[in-house]
Amino acid sequence: MKSVFYIIILVLLLFLFPNRFSHFDEQYNFVVSIIYAIALVYYLLQQRKYTSNWLRFDVIFLVGYTIVHFQIPFLASLGIEPERPDFIWINKQVVNFATWMSAVSIVLWMWGYVLYRNKRKRRKVSDKVKQPIIKISYYKYDIILLLSFIAFLGLVGSSIFQGVYDGGKSWGTGANYAFLILRVLLYLRVVYFFKDFSKGTHFKIIIQKLLSYKIFIGVLGVYTLLFLMSGDRGPVMQVALIIGGAYALYIRPIPFKRLILFIFLGAFVFTIIRFGRGRDANEFDQGNIFQRGYASFAESEGTNVTDELASSVRIQYRALDVVPDQHPYLYGITFFTVGVGVIPFMGSTVIETFDIPQQYTATSSFFTILGQGQYATYGEGSEVLADIYVNFGLYGTFLIMFLFGMFSGKVFYKAKELEFKFVLISLILLTYALTINRGMLFSPLKDIVYILVINHIVIRLNK
């Protein structure tokens, strides 16, 4: 019966099908945004019946999706233009279609998510799934974690120690792979730590246990501080989500009010970091990144902490403006190049062997070159719907978002039963829940594959 609601919403949206190019209509964007808001509230209320934990992939993903796809068109429908309209409105004539496309895609995702739950209810499932006992030598694991951290520090280069943020462009050879191994080992160690506690364990006991793992807490602390002071918010946010997500699964759920507090506090802190970071250590005034950031933030006028995330919708506008009229569909080439990239050095080997142009190695490169040409001065990034659309078209986008919803639902319900592989997948998805909206659908793939492989190796070695 829950599917009926989503079918009604989809039929209603079909009646509102717009032309791909049309004059920006304030009333139209307002109506479509309200329809989406109704679907969102219904979905969240229904999910509340199945879990009291709000720190989940679907919730954070929907927060990011709402900001990216609806903040700017909805505010524009009320007469509030974005901070940099010339930067955002690549072609304002595609905005009606983009807002409609965003609403249909996410309603299909919600429908796919709940369909797995309905399918699962028809099967006879035991109330409690017996989980295998995983015994691990944490001292040996922590030594490997420390050696991995030292290897990363040896390869990364000096810029990160100077508090400089450049997106990893100045990192030494091999540093990106070393960082991948390091962060996956760290994520896995966090999950191992929380899985050993029983439900409802007092916070004081958790802290006491944590302090007994000196190598682990040392690596975790220095890792977080290093990226925090360099202004790289991604690794800090991801490790925080891994910790929070594992705590919510194994210890106690995170309530809605606390999640809202964490979101606003995190958004403010990361905004301060954005204002305080720089690409050249010589340009830094006295003070650390927070002092510089707060001073710049205080001088800014009317800065919205979600504006940076919301601006990614411009990539969707560019995709609809250019493909397929000015550039043909990519027919999955960037999905292929990103997918084979999970195998070490396979991505670069395939690209060189088949002489794939840089523009088609990932949609982040595709949109950057579309916008700035071959000699781009900065990366424009990607956007989840644009990533799918330029490869598979509108109907392919709808189908893939529906299947992605079903996959997300399956992962959630199996992780809720503490099936360990699905716990790992759900937590990796959680780390990408916000950024996947301004990136590529396959963004979490490499981390998922590596954490499953490393976990398998660890378990086999400890048998």
pLDDT of 127 reads: 45
Q: pLDDT tens for residues 197-207?
A: 999 999 999 99
Whether 163 shows a pLDDT value over 70: the answer reads no
* Least confident among 3-17, 162-176, 279-293: 279-293
pLDDT of 347 reads: 84
Question: Smallest Cα–Cα separation from 98: which of 397, 430, 407, 339?
Answer: 397
Delimit the domains of the chain by residue range.
138-299
Q: pLDDT tens for residues 98-141?
A: 999 999 999 999 999 998 766 655 554 444 555 556 678 899 99
* Least confident among 88-97, 368-377, 399-408: 368-377
Count of CA atoms in the C-beta half-sphere (13 A) of 95: 27
Question: Smallest Cα–Cα separation from 162: which of 275, 274, 269, 283?
Answer: 283
Local structure of 164: helix, strand or coil = strand
pLDDT of 162 reads: 64
Whether 65 shows a pLDDT value over 60: the answer reads yes
Instruction: Write the CA distances from 153 to 52, 178, 212, 223, 224, integer angstroms.
Output: 40, 9, 25, 10, 13
pLDDT of 283 reads: 57
pLDDT of 364 reads: 92
Structure confidence at residue 461 as a pLDDT band (50, 70, 90)? confident
For the residues 268-278, what does the mean pLDDT come to? 72
Close Cβ partners of 316 (under 8 Å, ≥ 6 residues apart): 69, 98, 101, 102, 383, 385, 386, 389
Phi, then psi, of 108 in degrees rounded to 5: -65, -40
pLDDT of 264 reads: 82
pLDDT of 126 reads: 43
pLDDT of 125 reads: 43
Position of tokens 């720190």? Answer: 55
Q: pLDDT tens for residues 299-343?
A: 666 567 788 889 999 999 999 999 999 999 999 999 999 999 898
Q: Hey, what are 105's tokens?
A: 């895609």
For the residues 403-422, what does the mean pLDDT come to? 95
C-beta separation of 35 from 9 below 8 A: yes
Local structure of 374: helix, strand or coil = coil
| Residues paired with residue 164 on neighbouring β-strands, in sequence order | 278
pLDDT of 173 reads: 64
Position of tokens 């050993």? Answer: 196
Q: pLDDT tens for residues 86-96?
A: 999 999 999 99
Close Cβ partners of 404 (under 8 Å, ≥ 6 residues apart): 109, 112, 441
Q: pLDDT tens for residues 1-20?
A: 678 999 999 999 999 999 99
Instruction: Write the DSSP assignment of 31-98 as a string of letters.
Output: HHHHHHHHHHHHHHHHHTTT-S---SHHHHHHHHHHHHHHHHHHHHHTT---SSHHHH-S-GGGHHHH
pLDDT of 170 reads: 63
